[in-house]
Amino acid sequence: MVKKCDISGTGVMSGNNVSHANNRTRRRFLPNLQVVSLFSEALNQTFKLKVCTKTLRSIEHNGGLDGYLEATSGNKLTLEAQKIKKALIAKKGPIAKPEKKAVRNQPARVAKVAAKKAAK
């Protein structure tokens, strides 16, 4: 059985156990996988997936499976998640990205100076 997240692709990592005497032995760090049923409101369908808890928190933060798939780029998704996203886009239509304002990305001090210059 593959220990890999079905959505984000997070898998097994390796590292060392380090003792008090600084002896190092190799070990494996396994992802915290949970089998969950995620409901897609747009597709009106439930998907039963093995998801790591970090991805599950991100899904809840983005308002469900649909919101998470819309917010995440296809490069960061597994093939199975990309198929769900493609079906979602076919059902809902293309995803519109919000426009970015140039002032938002600048530090507050620089933005105030730019606002004063624009007012003059």
Structural element, H or E, at residue 27: strand 24-29
User: Among 3.30.70.2860, 1.10.274.50, 2.30.170.40, 3.30.420.140, what is the CATH number of 13-119?
Assistant: 2.30.170.40
Give which of 101, 97, 98, 95 is closest to 115, Cα–Cα: 101
From first to last of its 120 residues, the chain has per-residue pLDDT tens of: 789 999 999 999 999 999 999 999 999 999 999 999 999 999 999 999 999 999 999 999 999 999 999 999 999 999 999 999 999 999 887 766 656 555 555 566 676 777 777 777
As a three-state string, the secondary structure of 95-116 is CCCCCCCCCCCCCHHHHHHHHH
In which residue are the tokens 């190799």 written?
A: 26
Q: What is the pLDDT of residue 1?
A: 77
Residues 6+ positions from 32 with CB-CB distance below 8 Å: 52, 53, 54
